Amino acid sequence: DAGITQSPRHKVTETGTPVTLRCHQTENHRYMYWYRQDPGHGLRLIHYSYGVKDTDKGEVSDGYSVSRSKTEDFLLTLESATSSQTSVYFCAISETPGQAFEAFFGQGTRLTVV
């Protein structure tokens, strides 16, 4: 299994509070991603990073920010959590796109905003 660790694995937070999810990799992969999975929507890209301090928005980036100060860590921050951000969040990593571009996923973080 690819070395990807997400923390925390579960979190319950109140509306309006800031929340930070962490993704840590030991594979030295260049690309890192944050996805959210919701019923009826599959997986949707929130933000991604193509190098240290290089990030870009995905399909559903509103309300989220990211930071990548080291190759191994990619943080996802909900500035002010809302109930619509209740979801399962997955981090993924990949090498520079090449022959197949497999992305390897973490175990997920279940976030509940009450």
Partner 1 sequence: DQQVKQNSPSLSVQEGRISILNCDYTNSMFDYFLWYKKYPAEGPTFLISISSIKDKNEDGRFTVFLNKSAKHLSLHIVPSQPGDSAVYFCAAIALYSGGGADGLTFGKGTHLIIQP
Residues at the site binding partner 1, with contacts judged by CB under 8 A: 4, 33, 35, 40-45, 48, 50, 56, 58-59, 90, 92, 96-97, 99-108
Q: How many CB atoms lie within 10 A of CB 106?
A: 23
Pairing label, strands 109-113, 73-78: unpaired
Task: Please state the closest distance from residue 24 (CB atom) to partner 1, in A.
Answer: 14
Q: Which is nearer to partner 1, 20 or 104 (CB)?
A: 104
Task: Please state the closest distance from residue 15 (CB atom) to partner 1, in A.
Answer: 25
Q: Which long-range contacts (CB under 8 A, 24 or more apart) does 96-102 make?
A: 96/30, 96/31, 97/31
Q: How many CB atoms lie within 10 A of CB 50?
A: 14
Q: Which is nearer to partner 1, 56 or 79 (CB)?
A: 56
Task: Please state the closest distance from residue 103 (CB atom) to partner 1, in A.
Answer: 6
